[in-house]
Amino acid sequence: MSAYERDVIVYVVSDSAGDTGDLVVRAAAAQFHPIVPQIRRAPFIADEAALAKVMELARSNGAIVLYTLVLPHLREAMVRLADTSGVEAIDLLGTLIQSLERKTGMPSRQEPGLNHVLDEDYFRKVEAVEFAVKYDDARDTTGIKKADIVLVGVSRTSKTPLSMYLAHKKYKVANVPLVPELKPPDELFTIPKERVIGLTIGVHYLNVIRKERLKALGLPDSASYATSERIERELAYAKAITDRIGCFTMDVSHRAVEETASIIMERIRSS
């Protein structure tokens, strides 16, 4: 049993939707894989009373708080509440806003949510996110022909997190799990191979990830799903499929989602 703390909770507090804080927590958490902190959002905070409730929850759960509060009076209230409650609270925007005010000589607009203006770009992102959810894990294979990118790979190669990350970059992504017992969708072999990205991973690394997943589900880590023999068979099957497609394949071992996504986007843009 590891001596490391595994039950880490982070509250993301915002006077807007909290997307910025959420992404920052996930980026930081990638450095501690396979430990995955629980992210609990507290969006659209409007007054000190709402802040106080969140801080009490954070205190009782031994959580960390990351906040993206644009309104100065809420930031000031957060500092006071963090001090009195003994909760570690990290200000993601305040210091930068103050520095920009000093540098520009101009006061900030103090309007939460300005980075979510409902323009065409925003709606394209929403559409891409909805697409990724609908066509996750090949629940509906018709999405394969409609997608900008199709991710294929064995279980726990970050297909779903990658799909969501790429969706926030406005790519429509479908992902397909490759399982020896299941015939792959015919659509995979009818679309341009440049739109398909194969994800592979080291046997030992995947073994560790799957064991952690089983533990998180309260199951014994000796299940066949996490054995090296099973993993080797799955990876060999997946390689046979990606070789048949002729698509680009990349190893995601020890790679953060952001790094993998960056390589995929560069590949798609240059194809």
The string of pLDDT tens digits covering residues 25-70 is 988 888 887 788 899 999 999 999 999 999 999 999 999 999 999 9
User: Structurally, what CATH architecture does the domain formed by 9-116 represent?
Assistant: 3-Layer(aba) Sandwich (3.40)
160 is known to lie in a ligand binding site? yes
Residue 1: its pLDDT value, please? 37
- Rg over alpha carbons for the chain, rounded to the nearest Å, is 22
262 is known to lie in a ligand binding site? no
pTM listed for this prediction: 0.62
Joined together, the tokens standing for residue 60 give: 């009782």
Residue 104: its pLDDT value, please? 93
Q: Which fold has domain 120-270?
A: Rossmann fold (3.40.50)
Residue 119: its pLDDT value, please? 63
Q: Is the pLDDT of residue 2 over 80?
A: no
In the Cβ-directed half-sphere of 217, how many Cα atoms lie within 13 Å? 12
154 is known to lie in a ligand binding site? yes
CATH 3.40.50.2300 segments of the chain: 9-116
Q: Is the pLDDT of residue 5 over 70?
A: no
270 is known to lie in a ligand binding site? no
> 23 pLDDT band (50/70/90 cuts)?
confident
Other beta carbons within 10 Å of 81:
20
pLDDT digits (tens, 9 = 90+) for 180-217: 999 999 999 999 999 999 999 999 999 999 999 898 88
Residue 183: its pLDDT value, please? 95
Residue 51: its pLDDT value, please? 96
139 is known to lie in a ligand binding site? no
84 is known to lie in a ligand binding site? no
Q: Residue by residue, what is the 3-state secondary structure of the chain?
A: CCCCCCCCEEEEEECCCCHHHHHHHHHHHHHHCCCCCEEEEECCCCCHHHHHHHHHHHHHHCCEEEEECCCHHHHHHHHHHHHHHCCCEEECCHHHHHHHHHHHCCCCCCCCCHHHCCCHHHHHHHHHHHHHHHCHHHCCCCHHHHCCEEEEECCCCCHHHHHHHHHCCCCCEEEEECCCCCCCCHHHHCCCHHHEEEEECCHHHHHHHHHHHHHHCCCCCCCHHHCHHHHHHHHHHHHHHHHHHCCEEEECCCCCHHHHHHHHHHHHHHC
Q: Is the pLDDT of residue 19 over 90?
A: no
In 3D space, the residue among 23, 17, 77, 28 whose CA is nearest the CA of residue 53 turns out to be: 77
**The length of the chain, given as a count of residues:** 271
